[in-house]
Amino acid sequence: MPLAPVDNNGTRLYYDDTGAPLDCAEYRTLVLIHGAIFNGATFKPLYKYNAQHGVRLISVNMRDYRGSTPYADSHLEALRSGDKERQHSVVRAHGLEIAAFLVWFIRKGDIPPMSDDRRAGGIALLGWSWGNTITMAFLAQASELPGSDRDLLTTHLRSLIILDSARQGLGVPPSIFEGLESPGKESDDLPDPAERWLTWAVNYRHSKSVLDALPSVTLEDLRAGVVHSPVEDPSPDSVEARKRMVHSLEEITDLSVVDRAQLSWLDVNPDIFAENVRASLLDASTWPHLRVYLVWCDASVPETVFSSWYWLSQVESDWPSTARRVTNVRFQGANHFPHWFHPERTMDLLAKLA
C-alpha cells in the first residue's frame, strides 16, 4: 500500500499512482484531492485516458479515508469546539499536509520540473467539491512554507484547478444560499441508505440564458434561473454511469467517515474558509506564475453553481491587479461527477488545464 509521510507525527496519506506515461520524459503530473464521502477511487475512470495526454495521475486520500491516518481525537474535538482559533489551527495543519505530500512526491518520484516554456513537466493540483477546503488551506500558507520547499514548488507547481467546488471550498457566505434546497433531503427513503450520497450524482437543467450570462447575472436572476430538482429524463449514458456508480459504492465511498469525522467540518466557522480563499487568490507574491482555473459544471447541483458564481462575479468585476489570475471554465453538460459520468471529456479538459 503506497503511503506518503506528511508530518513528523507518523501521519501518512494513502495515494494511488498511474505511473509515468511510457515514452514521455517530460510528462505532467496531476494530483487529485477528493471531496466528502467519496475517496480517491472515484477518479479511477480517468485512468483509461491520462497516458494519451502525457499526464501522470495521483489521487490522494485525505485523513480518515481508506488507507490514510485517521484524524487525531484532539483535531476532531477542535473542529467541533466552536472556537475559531482552534478550528483554524486544524484546518491549517491539514493544508500543510498537502504541501508536505507534494514536496515528498516530487522528490521521491523524481518528477520533472516545468520546462522553460512551461509546456511540459511540473505538477498541477486539483481539488474537487469539498476537497477545495484542503487545497485552499495549502495555498493560503504558500509564503510561510520552508524556503527549500517553496523553491522546489516554484520550479514544479504549474496550476491549481478548482473543480465544481462545494460552498466550503470557496468560502461562500451562508447568506448566498438562503432558500436553496439541499440535495438528498428525501433520500432517507431510498432502498439502500448508501445511495443517499448519490443525490449529487444527477443532472440539473438550469436556465440556459442564466448559465450563458454567468457570472454577470445578479443573485436574484441566479435564484430564479437555477432549478432545485434534477432532470426526470436522464440520458441513457447517464443512467448507465449511475448504475456503475451504485455497483462501485463500496470501493469509492468511505461511509464510516461521515459520523466520525466528515460532519465535524460542518461545525467549522465559515469565515475560516473565506479567509483561506482570499489568502490563496488575492496574494500572488508567492508563485506568481501559478495559473488558477475555476471549473464549474453547468448541469451540477445548485450549491456548486452558486459557489462558482460568487467568486467569478468578483473576479470579473473588481479583481486586484496583485491577485492571481483566475480563469473561468464552464464545463457544459457536466454534473457534479464529471470524472465518473464523462471521464474522457473530463481528462481532455484537465490535460489542457494541467
pLDDT for 118 equals: 87
Average pLDDT score over residue span 132-158: 98
- Which grid cell is 96? 500543510
Average pLDDT score over residue span 235-256: 94
Average pLDDT score over residue span 248-253: 95
Tens digit of each residue's pLDDT (9 = 90 or more) over 165-184:
999 999 999 999 987 866 54
Residue 188 has pLDDT above 50, yes or no: no
Give the chain's radius of gyration (CA, Å): 19
Average pLDDT score over residue span 174-198: 66
Residue 318 has pLDDT above 90, yes or no: no
Instruction: Yes or no: say if 63 and 11 are a contact pair by the CB < 8 Å rule.
Output: yes
pLDDT tier, 230 (very low <50, low <70, confident <90, very high otherwise): very high
Nearest to 126, CA basis, from 352, 317, 350, 316: 350
Report which DSSP code applies to 326. Answer: E
What is d(CA 99, CA 139) in angstroms, rounded to the nearest whole number? Answer: 8
Q: What is the pTM of this model?
A: 0.96
pLDDT tier, 25 (very low <50, low <70, confident <90, very high otherwise): confident
Classify the phi-psi angles of 19: left when phi > 0, otherwise alpha if psi is within -120 to 50, otherwise beta. Answer: left
Letter string b/e over residues 169-180, b meaning 16 or more CB atoms within 10 A of that residue's CB: bbbbeeebbeee
- Which domains occur in the chain, in start order? 3-353 (3.40.50.1820)
Residue 103 has pLDDT above 50, yes or no: yes
What does residue 226 show for φ and ψ, rounded to 5 degrees?
-95, 130
Least confident of 76-90, 179-193, 260-274, 311-325: 179-193
Q: What is the mean pLDDT of the chain?
A: 94
Cβ atoms < 10 Å from Cβ of 277:
24
Sign of CA dihedral 211, 300, 165, 117: negative
pLDDT tier, 106 (very low <50, low <70, confident <90, very high otherwise): very high
Residue 199 has pLDDT above 60, yes or no: yes
Q: Is 167 helix (H, G, I), strand (E, B) or coil?
A: coil
